A and B are shown apart, each in its own frame.
Chain A
Amino acid sequence: MYYGRYLLRYLQNEILVLPSRVIVLVFVASLVAFPLISQDPNLLRMLIVTALFSLYAVSWDLLSGYTGQISLGHALFFGSGAYASALLSSHLGLPPYATIPAGAAVATLAGLLVGIPCLRLRKHYLALATLAFPIMLTGLVLAFPGFSGGEGGIWRIARLTSTRIEEYYLIVGVMLVAVFALWKVAGSRVGLIFHSIREDETAARALGINTVRYKLFAFALSGFTAGVAGALYAHSSAARIVAPGVVLSLFMSFQPVIWTIFGGAATIYGPITGVFILYPLLDTLNVVIPKYRMLVFALLVLFILRFMPHGISTWIRDTIERVCPSCQVRNIATRRACRACGVELRHMQP
């Protein structure tokens, strides 16, 4: 009873007061309730891939959006998670609950291995350096085709669950929990330090922050998250095969960049918005106008970024909410006075 009242109060005072939080609540509730409305395997598959790519995009946002360590070779983490998991499954016959953590661990290690040599690099030099790593891993995969499956990839991979609905709940559940955890990290002191490294690393160091340690932590955490996504992808019904042309491709590296910039960088929820709009859209365009799908896709992304340069979710949030200049608390745009300190908001620009 007590917890019920607490939850209700929390909902009333913390969630329902801000439209962006209401949108998040509705989004999560819709995801959870979706299989009750439709069990169409096609739609479930699309949402499974969307959830996996959301996790992957969030991992890029954490490293590049928050910390400013631009990675153009993020497929390395996704691919190493997918490959480690697939290899363990096909060669040793290990079940997914053993291979997925192993895949995530390998991707974390990959994050550290990439992070160490890249510590001295900044901006486009760093971006170019990261671009090389998935190409190197592709070379390794092709060099040992007997073990790695070579160009053809690995396809004897254990399935995650026996039914599509179970798979949906597992992957969406992992995605929601992981994103919530990353959101908490991003909102914590560590997140602030990530921001400070991005804005001015020298100033952050002058304040006594061990930026090397935090940059490595960002690489490892980002690698871990992308690795979880990659490992889950390898076992999912949407993949069936882990091949270098799929999981280590340049396209796979560039996709989280597009999703995140489209949705809104350094927000955690931005990349999710980006993936949940763009992936189903691309999938639908593939059916409706396959020939022009990439053209339409590119034009749409350009159009949105022309009018919403900080991303669609940031634009929506800034349109429906405004920040109190006095106490920095967010309020719904229609409020006349701040809900926390009572300062008048009426004539403020959003």
Chain B
Amino acid sequence: MKSLICCLVFSVFALGLSVSGQVIRIGVVGPMTFIQGIHHWRGATLAADEINAAGGITVGGTTYTIELVRVDSNEMQPGPDAVSAVERAITASKVDFLVGGFRTEAMLAMTEVAADYKKIFLIAGAADDGLLKGRVDKNYNRYKYLFRITPVRSTYLAQVSFILLRDVVETFRRELGISQPKIAIVAEQAAWANMIVTLVALQAGTPVDKGGFGGQHVGTWRPSALATSVAAELTAVERAGAHIVFTVFSGPVGVVFGRDWGRLQVPVAAVGINVEAQAQGWLDATGGFGAYTATAGIYATGVAVTEATLPFIEKFQAEFGELPLFTAGTYDALYILADAIRRADSLQTDAVISALETTDYVSTLGRIVFDELHDPIWGPDYITGLGVQWQDGAPKAFWPREWQPDPAKLPDLVISTPGTVPYVIPPWVKDHWQGK
């Protein structure tokens, strides 16, 4: 009888060990009750399922499977929740790595916790330069654990949105004969937007031959990221006589803007950054008023940035019924991490960091190579992003299309991503300004 009990106990123990297996725990950090966090989680689950189905990650002869831990940082609401969530994930859930994050203000604090506990944090959702600049370069030993996957840092994001704005300005000149379009800026109150707003305001009135837009800056409005109406701001924009409104939104105010802009038929073309407009449900969310919104984006219908893009989009759409947001870049983050662990053949943090630093990976976003700040390099052959406009009920890419990155030095270099279409001025805007 005793031996039978011993056998049973041993069997249960052995079974427990085999069931638990060898796992790598990865904390997926994001505001999980908001679309940004939901896509963080979806991107990560898709990658984890694929990696596990393909046999997991083998390190030193041992195979590990990925186990994801949901870390709700509640970043949209300010408070100590984000810090608590990350610390809980590290100390209680025992995560080995962290991916995700969204709000710069929260990310600055959360990455401090990651640095304290020496945990690698692959940022997939926050753009502010200061997350890495001034940290990884100034205090490498403390902040070497931080890498950014997506989006590219604010400076580059600004660069993309400038190119998009220039494209729209040129379309106004070409199609409507407005030589000096008036540009208004509507940007959410958030740290990451500040630099972009300053630069656009500066460049708007600068002549084209001096690198500016050759337009006129008529004002800047900064609603809250959680504002429920921007009708007042849009009325002011209209009264200022603006032709184009440059938007900088990452929060729910993006939907509010799209809804109010289309509903009020404000005669300005909206272009810039609007994270919510990257979502498949954009038109539904804006009550159908969000058509013709143009934004810097990552994914668009039928556009293959790399060979990995379309299979990922198709899988994501099949699984979740919508286009991935840029925060679904956790998908690439997990693959890049898995790749680094395999190359390091170790789970030792320093070894994985060294492997991450030598990453050269073709992701769904483009080719990812990290610079000395642990930021992905931006530009042709690396990551550029897309210019996306809602046309005929779908997000269509209008950039990079006949893009000359450096016309002076490389006049023959013209980049056109297959599947891109021309930018279209919203019909009511065209009707309003035509002949004036």
Residues of A within 8 A of B (CB): 40-42, 45-46, 49, 142, 145, 150-153, 155, 237-241, 243, 245-246, 249, 251-252, 283, 286-287, 290-291
Give the distance to chain B from A241, nearest Cβ to Cβ, in Å: 4
| Contact in complex: A152, B92 (CB < 8 Å) | no
| Contact in complex: A245, B87 (CB < 8 Å) | no
Could you count the A-B residue pairs with CB atoms below 8 Å apart for me: how many are there?
A: 82
CA distance A224 to B278 in the complex (A): 47
Give the distance to chain A from B155, nearest Cβ to Cβ, in Å: 15
| Contact in complex: A151, B190 (CB < 8 Å) | yes
| Contact in complex: B33, A238 (CB < 8 Å) | no
CB closest residue in chain A, given B191 = A152
| Contact in complex: B84, A240 (CB < 8 Å) | no
Q: Binding site of B, secondary structure by majority: helix, strand, loop or mixed?
A: helix
| Contact in complex: B108, A155 (CB < 8 Å) | yes
| Contact in complex: A239, B109 (CB < 8 Å) | yes
Give the distance to chain A from B127, nearest Cβ to Cβ, in Å: 12
Interface assignment of B72: CB less than 8 Å from any CB of chain A: yes
Q: Digit string of B176-210 for contact with A (CB within 8 Å is 1, else 0)?
A: 00000000000001110010000000000000000
CA distance A83 to B84 in the complex (A): 21
Contacts of B105 on A, CB cut-off 8 Å? 151-153, 241, 243, 245-246
Interface assignment of B241: CB less than 8 Å from any CB of chain A: no
Partner of A286, one of B74, B190, B194: B74
Partner of A246, one of B80, B116, B190, B194: B80
Contacts of B79 on A, CB cut-off 8 Å? 246, 249, 251-252
CA distance A85 to B78 in the complex (A): 20
| Contact in complex: B91, A238 (CB < 8 Å) | no
Contacts of B128 on A, CB cut-off 8 Å? 152
| Contact in complex: B87, A45 (CB < 8 Å) | yes
CA distance A79 to B130 in the complex (A): 23
| Contact in complex: B191, A150 (CB < 8 Å) | yes
CA distance A59 to B416 in the complex (A): 63
CA distance A149 to B245 in the complex (A): 27
CB closest residue in chain A, given B189 = A151
Give the distance to chain B from A309, nearest Cβ to Cβ, in Å: 28
Within 59-108 of B, Cβ neighbours of A (below 8 Å) are at 72, 74, 77-81, 83-85, 87-88, 91-92, 104-105, 108
Give the distance to chain B from A237, nearest Cβ to Cβ, in Å: 8
Among B72, B79, B116, chain A packs the most CB atoms within 10 A around the CB of B79
CA distance A240 to B72 in the complex (A): 18
Within 121-146 of B, Cβ neighbours of A (below 8 Å) are at 128, 130
Within 2-39 of B, Cβ neighbours of A (below 8 Å) are at 32-33
| Contact in complex: B191, A283 (CB < 8 Å) | no
| Contact in complex: A42, B91 (CB < 8 Å) | yes
Contacts of A142 on B, CB cut-off 8 Å? 189
Give the distance to chain B from A196, nearest Cβ to Cβ, in Å: 37
| Contact in complex: B91, A40 (CB < 8 Å) | yes
Interface assignment of B113: CB less than 8 Å from any CB of chain A: yes
CA distance A239 to B78 in the complex (A): 11
CB closest residue in chain B, given A149 = B191
Partner of B108, one of A40, A49, A153, A290: A153
Contacts of A287 on B, CB cut-off 8 Å? 72, 88
Given contacts A150-B191, A155-B109, A241-B105, contact A286 B81 (CB under 8 A): yes
Contacts of A243 on B, CB cut-off 8 Å? 78, 105
Given contacts A243-B78, A286-B81, A291-B33, contact A41 B108 (CB under 8 A): no
Contacts of B85 on A, CB cut-off 8 Å? 286
CA distance A29 to B158 in the complex (A): 56
Contacts of A40 on B, CB cut-off 8 Å? 91-92
Interface assignment of B112: CB less than 8 Å from any CB of chain A: yes
| Contact in complex: A240, B33 (CB < 8 Å) | no
CA distance A287 to B89 in the complex (A): 10
CA distance A290 to B108 in the complex (A): 22
CA distance A288 to B33 in the complex (A): 13
CA distance A160 to B72 in the complex (A): 27
